[in-house]
Amino acid sequence: MMSDTPHRPHDGVKTDTDTDAASSYEQVRETASRVYHDARDRAADVYDSSKRATKDVAHRAADEIETNPFVMLIGGIAVGALVGALLPRSAKEKELLSPIGRKLGDSARQAFAAAREAGKQELDQAGLTTGAARERGQALFDGVLKAMSSASGAAAQAAKGSTRG
For residue range 46-64, what is the model confidence (pLDDT) as tens digits? 888 888 888 888 888 788 7
Q: For the whole prediction, is pTM greater than 0.75?
A: no
What angle is formed at CA 45 by the lines to CA 44 and CA 49, rounded to 5 degrees? 120
> What pLDDT sits at residue 20?
76
Residue 118 φ/ψ region, left for φ over 0, alpha for ψ in the -120 to 50 degree band, beta for the rest: alpha
What would the mean pLDDT of 11-32 be, rounded to a whole number? 76
Residue 1's pLDDT band, with cuts at 50, 70 and 90, is very low
Residue 70's pLDDT band, with cuts at 50, 70 and 90, is confident
**CA 19 to the chain's CA centroid:** 66
What does the alpha-carbon distance between residue 127 and residue 30 come to, in Å, rounded to a whole number?
97
Q: Summarize pLDDT for 89-120 with one digit per residue, the tens.
A: 788 777 878 888 888 888 888 988 888 888 88
CA gyration radius, the chain: 47
Residue 9's pLDDT band, with cuts at 50, 70 and 90, is low
> What pLDDT sits at residue 164?
63
